[in-house]
DNA sequence: GTGGTCTAGACCACT
DNA sequence: GTGGTCTAGACCACA
């Protein structure tokens, strides 16, 4: 499904959350498609089941997936995704932090712009 | 000198590091100018001296400041700042993470671009 | 794993750093092998955990080891080790300082050469 | 007379000691030549007089200089210099430490040898 | 006074 | 359990 980078500073559960979000939003995972069970996914990406459990709980809380007692976990319709203003502001803060660090590293405004364009262009599935 | 946001996700020491980097790179702190002593700064921002010490060590390791036995800590010449490829890649990864989150939240490429332009324009000291 | 010499001029954390570097570079610690946890190593060498933590941070910053949230600390691939020109120059300065002291002590060029050959030959693991 | 490097990790008093030793051993300062007074030297190298005082005490203790009440401080005959086995061992330990760091940095035995030859050859005044 | 190191003990998030 | 951060308090050498 995806790979976990164990050397990454990002926590494993966050990596799972973000990977799944990407697959849902980009449409790779289709509405009402069955997600792998906690155990299955945990085994596949060689991670503790509790960690996958935690990620699923977060994803469900934000409306990316839903679970049905005894049947399993499924992909929600994209209209169900809940995004708060705070989420946007947090993403903005993250980006600002990254840009600040480039400034501290001595990059010029133009070099920074180019680097960011580069990042944006990497994402092909964009609307 | 600057304020610490105790509610911020960023650790206190990281906030100190980033604030000082900003002051050095923007030229507010001049080469060979004396930095506040560990204890002074600790008192000013109401933080434990060890925390300031830690931040100063990091800043020294990256060449933003240097310390002299029993005399104090001073601002390095900007040419001394050590920036590695890895540092740039890390900043890039942070920005990518923020942009990913905006994508997961449903923003379009154009909305993302506008938000980022906004962040970049906030920084007045930029060349 | 190794012993700390509490009477040594070198600080405890520096001794930990250098010992671990040696074990990594010589291959005694293998890539991706788990390091003892901060608390374990602290107990083994009867030192405060914070001191080990500090050493691990330095080692991580230089690419000898990496840590993973809640999982532990691991040995990096040797290709990840970051060595800067400044590091080499610092080692050179240390050696120069030692040689200077031998000169001040009245040793001849040849006596100094012999003493250094001796030191070099002590290191068996060398390629 | 010489310059102090305030960015150096070496303490200022140690720098003074080593610089003077060098001048005495190499013969630039001749036997019974008058040394600058503590105040004079302190002013010349822009350092606290207490620090120069301390350096002079060390130099006198090791026989590089001698002081005569009310007349000033003078250069000793080189035969007066006291060198203990411990001094040699300490210098050896310093060199070993530098060589170790080169090993940790990944240099080969041959590269290390070349670097050290380089350092030795820098010193022209050698017997 | 300055920076530097260490200990002890606590708290946090992640697995 | 793991690493990460912070506080409090102490001690040291250097200037």
Write the pLDDT tens digit of every residue in B57-69: 999 999 999 999 9
Helix (H) or strand (E) holding B50: helix B49-61
Helix (H) or strand (E) holding C110: helix C109-122
Q: Stated in angstroms, how far is B97 CA from E11 C1'?
A: 28
Q: In chain C, which residues have their Cβ closer than 8 Å to the Cβ of A9? A: 69
Exposure of A11 in the CB half-sphere (CA atoms within 13 A): 10
Dist CA D6 CA B69 (whole Å):
9
Name the one residue in this structure whose structure tokens are 């036995």.
B69
Helices D85-104 and D109-122: angle between axes, nearest 10 degrees: 130
Does chain B reach chain D with at least 3 CB pairs under 8 Å?
A: yes
Taking the alpha carbons of D39, D45, D51, D53 in that order, is the dihedral positive or negative? negative
Q: CB count, 10 Å around CB of C1?
A: 14
Backbone phi and psi for residue D89, each to the nearest 5 degrees, phi listed first: -65, -35
Asked if C81's CB is within 8 angstroms of D106's CB, the reply is yes
Asked if D87's CB is within 8 angstroms of C101's CB, the reply is yes
> Across the strands, what pairs with C67?
C73
Dist CA B11 CA A127 (whole Å):
36
Asked if A106's CB is within 8 angstroms of B92's CB, the reply is no
Partner chains of C (3+ C-beta pairs under 8 Å) = A, B, D
Backbone phi and psi for residue D125, each to the nearest 5 degrees, phi listed first: -75, 15
Task: Note the helical H segments in A35-124.
Answer: 38-44, 49-61, 85-104, 109-122
Does chain A reach chain D with at least 3 CB pairs under 8 Å?
A: no
Report percent pLDDT > 90 for chain A.
Answer: 97
Three-state secondary structure readout of D12-71: HHHHHHHHHHHHHHCCCCCCCCECCCHHHHHHHCCCCHHHHHHHHHHHHHCCCEEEECCC
User: Left, alpha or beta for A70 (phi > 0: left; psi -120 to 50: alpha)?
Assistant: left
| CA dihedral angle for residue D94, residue C94, residue C8, residue C45, rounded to 10 degrees | -120
Question: pLDDT tens digits, chain C, 127 residues: what are they?
Answer: 999 999 999 999 999 999 999 999 999 999 999 999 999 999 999 999 999 999 999 999 999 999 999 999 999 999 999 999 999 999 999 999 999 999 999 999 999 999 999 999 999 888 7
Helix (H) or strand (E) holding C61: helix C49-61
How many angstroms away from the CA of B14 is the closest CA of chain C?
Answer: 14
Q: Which nucleotides of E are covered by protein (CB under 7 A)?
A: 1-10, 13-15
Tokens of B114: 């506008």
Given a contact cutoff of 8 angstroms between Cβ atoms, the answer to whether C21 and C59 are in contact is yes
Dist CA C107 CA D87 (whole Å):
12
Dist CA A18 CA A91 (whole Å):
13
Residue A124: the pLDDT is: 87
Q: In chain D, which residues have their Cβ closer than 8 Å to the Cβ of C99? A: 91, 95, 116, 119-120, 123
Grouping H, G, I as helix, E, B as strand and the rest as coil, residue C42 is helix
How many angstroms away from the CA of B92 is the closest CA of chain D?
Answer: 27
* Window 70-99 of chain B: CB closer than 7 A to strand F: 70-71
How many angstroms away from the CA of C95 is the closest CA of chain A?
Answer: 32
* D124 — pLDDT class (breaks 50, 70, 90): confident
Backbone phi and psi for residue D35, each to the nearest 5 degrees, phi listed first: -85, 155
Asked if D25's CB is within 8 angstroms of C106's CB, the reply is yes
Helix (H) or strand (E) holding C49: helix C49-61
User: Which residue in D7, D11, D12 is closest to B66 by CB distance?
Assistant: D7
* Window 38-97 of chain B: CB closer than 7 A to strand E: 38-40, 50, 53, 56-57, 60, 67, 69-73
* A126 — pLDDT class (breaks 50, 70, 90): confident
Helix (H) or strand (E) holding A75: strand A72-75
Dist CA D3 CA D44 (whole Å):
9
Residue A96: the pLDDT is: 98
Given a contact cutoff of 8 angstroms between Cβ atoms, the answer to whether A62 and B51 are in contact is no
Does chain D reach chain C with at least 3 CB pairs under 8 Å?
A: yes
Decide: pTM greater than 0.85: yes
Domains (range + CATH), chain B: 12-80 (1.10.10.10), 85-126 (no CATH)
Write the pLDDT tens digit of every residue in A8-30: 999 999 999 999 999 999 999 99
Q: Is the pLDDT of residue D9 over 90?
A: yes
Asked if B99's CB is within 8 angstroms of A120's CB, the reply is yes
Partner chains of A (3+ C-beta pairs under 8 Å) = B, C
Tokens of B1: 């000198």
Name the one residue in this structure whose structure tokens are 């980009």.
A26
Burial class, A94, CB count within 10 angstroms (exposed 0-12 / middle 13-18 / buried 19+): buried
Q: Is the pLDDT of residue B127 over 80?
A: no
Residue D106: the pLDDT is: 96
């Amino acid at each position: 499904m995806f790979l976990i980078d164990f050397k990454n500073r990002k926590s494993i559960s966050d990596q799972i959350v973000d990977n799944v979000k990407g697959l849902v939003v980009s449409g790779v995972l289709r509405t009402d498609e069955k997600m792998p069970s906690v155990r299955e996914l945990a085994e596949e990406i060689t991670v503790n089941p509790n960690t996958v459990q935690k990620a699923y709980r977060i994803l469900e809380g934000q409306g990316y997936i839903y679970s049905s007692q005894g049947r399993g976990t499924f992909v929600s319709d994209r209209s169900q995704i809940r995004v708060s203003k705070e989420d946007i502001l947090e993403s903005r803060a993250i980006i600002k932090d990254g840009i600040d660090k480039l400034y501290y590293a001595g990059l010029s405004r133009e070099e920074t712009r180019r680097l960011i364009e580069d990042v944006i262009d990497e994402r092909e599935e964009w609307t």
